[in-house]
Structures are given as structure tokens and as C-alpha cells.
Homo-oligomer: A and B are copies of this chain.
Amino acid sequence: MEYPDALLIIRHNIYILRLEKRWSQEKLAFAADIFRSYTGSIERGETGPNTFVYFKIVKALEVNLETIMKGT
């Protein structure tokens, strides 16, 4: 597996978890205290943020880092 592939899997995992909560990207960004544009670029797989941003996202989604890395 190459890095872009891992990013796509992570973003898909975040996308599914967000939909399960019926949240918009804005709602996730607000809950995770990150910029709205950032959730979009993460979900499009354009950026691989640092651990702290992923940590804020998983905390907002009430899962752990392991969950969003599943399948990488």
C-alpha cells in the first residue's frame, strides 16, 4: 500500500463515521475545533494532517485513532 492509498482509507473511515452521526462537515469541524475547509480537504484525501488534528477529529466522533486507521 502506498501513502495516498492509506489517506483515502482514513478519509473514507472519517466520512462514514461522520455520516453515522448525521453530521455535516461544518458540524464535524466545529465539534473537532478545526477549520471547516480542513475537514473538506481531509475527506477529499488532499491532506494528511498531523496526529493532533486526527486526535481532535476522533474525539469529536467519539472513536479512537485506531478506528480511523482501520484497513490502512
Q: Is the CB of B55 within 8 A of A3?
A: yes
Answer yes or no: A10 CB below 8 A from chain B CBs: yes
Chain B residues whose CB sits within 8 angstroms of the CB of A52 once the complex forms: 3, 48
- How many copies, total? 2
In the complex, A5 Cα to B64 Cα: how many Å?
12
Closest to A13 in B: B66
CB A46 to nearest CB in B, in angstroms, measures: 12
The 9 tightest CB contacts between A and B, nearest first, are A48-B51, A65-B69, A65-B72, A66-B69, A50-B50, A69-B69, A64-B72, A3-B55, A66-B70
Which A residues contact B (CB, under 8 angstroms)?
1, 3, 6-7, 10, 48-52, 54-55, 64-66, 69-72
